Amino acid sequence: RCTTTVCDAGSSGATHFPGFRRFIIDACKTRVLAFLNISLIGAGRAPALADTGPSLGGDGRAEGGGLQSTAHISVDHCVDCIRQNSDVIVGIKIALSRSWASEFPGGPAAGEAAGYEAALEASARAGVPLMTHHTMSSVPLSECPGRLRAGDVYTHCLHGFESTLITPEGGIDPAALAARDRGVRFE
């Protein structure tokens, strides 16, 4: 009630965005904005928007996530989709977690690294912020939030009552402090 605008955080990628727009954004009385997932198939742990084949678990949730394959990553498709829907897409989203890239050739670290590079490039090319969900990841803090830019968003700062941004000594990691000073938003 009384909510004028909501923002989806990466449920849909470029492949499924036309359906997401038609059946969610355009059909909703509330204004819906979106961060487009760098993965063409969208968020891997959200309820599946479409059957992704053998990765679709019996509970209706995709297993392994959107960074399962190089075929799921396309900077060009992401940027084109953003340009075609610039009235509702406000940024790009990536979920960086070893488990969400578990089936990637070369292993989870390769999947996360490839996805992150693509997301950074697409964000720069489209001129929109990048939102990163960075938990239990093989991507080090020196890279994320270390390479995020002013206006980008680092989510899940506190995940499961733990923060990856806290050093063993109890301070805040220097990469996070530097990112904050550059204008990265921590949510």
The residue length of the chain stands at 187
Q: Which residues pair with 162 in a beta bridge?
A: 159
pLDDT at 111: 78
Nearest CA among 184, 175, 183, 110 for reference residue 143: 175
pLDDT at 99: 64
pLDDT at 105: 63
pLDDT at 58: 42
Q: Residue written as tokens 């093989």?
A: 138
- Greater confidence (53 vs 172) lies with 172
pTM listed for this prediction: 0.85
Exposure string for 32-66, b = 16+ CB within 10 A, e = fewer: bebbbbbbbbbbbbbebbeebeebeeeeeebbbbb
- Greater confidence (54 vs 2) lies with 2
Q: Is the pLDDT of residue 47 over 50?
A: no
Share of the chain above pLDDT 90, in %: 58
pLDDT at 44: 58
Per-residue pLDDT tens over the stretch 91-139: 999 988 866 555 666 666 777 888 999 999 999 999 999 999 988 888 9
